[in-house]
Amino acid sequence: MSSNPLNGARFVLAAHEITQLPYDQGAEVAFAGRSNAGKSSALNALTGHNGLARTSKTPGRTQLMVVFDLPPLKGEGATPIDTRLVDLPGYGYAKVPEAMRQHWRGEIDAYLKMRRSLRGIVLIVDIRHELKDFDRTMLEFCAATELPCHVLMTKADKVSRGQASAALEALRKDFRKNGVPGTAQIFSSTAKTGVEEARARILELLATPRPHEL
């Protein structure tokens, strides 16, 4: 058995519409973020598979909802449940046609509102930059729907330790001010900073039913 429970991730399918996703049961955590924030690299680092999520010098290559199965999660004496990671389309890539952007706005919105097996969001943000409109919108949605959110402040290897700590504290202060049910951490897929902490948080999200499931 691997010491990394996410190491068993395997590609299942890429969906253009939510109706093409696997049957809505079990538990899944979705990864969201702007297309240049390091989402694919984070997924690869967390699962320990360098080629699981495609990385590219061209941001925004992920134009589909990509589903990865995980080994079933064993509960306390309960029947194991199916678990998944879902990579949502990278948002904000300028060269995507407007019709495609509109399509993905609608699909992501529907996914977040309707997907009952969704137990949390991992939001990828670049630690060097202020939160973008998309990031704010996602956090506001999580606050309004009480959907747990864990923020990975990526590319921490590109700033000093002091800058990283200040950025993290500023984000946590922002969460408290706006009532966001979120957690946040410093992360670097290159330096492997925060990888174990992030894995533990993802497993915690997968194992925690939301109120409508109880």
**Model pLDDT for residues 42-79, shown as the tens digit of each residue:** 999 999 988 887 765 555 455 789 999 998 887 656 68
The pLDDT, as a whole number, for residue 80 is 85
Q: What are phi and psi of 164, to 5 degrees?
A: -65, -45
CATH value at residue 88: 3.40.50.300
**CA 150 from centroid of its chain's CA atoms:** 8
Which residues does residue 81 pair with via DSSP β-bridges, in sequence order? 73
The pLDDT, as a whole number, for residue 1 is 41
Task: Output the pTM of the full model.
Answer: 0.91
* Dist CA 126 CA 152 (whole Å): 8
**Can you tell me the mean pLDDT for 22-37?**
92
Residues spanned by the domain of 139: 5-213
Which residues does residue 28 pair with via DSSP β-bridges, in sequence order? 84, 118
Number of domains observed in the structure of the chain: 1
**Can you tell me the mean pLDDT for 115-127?**
96
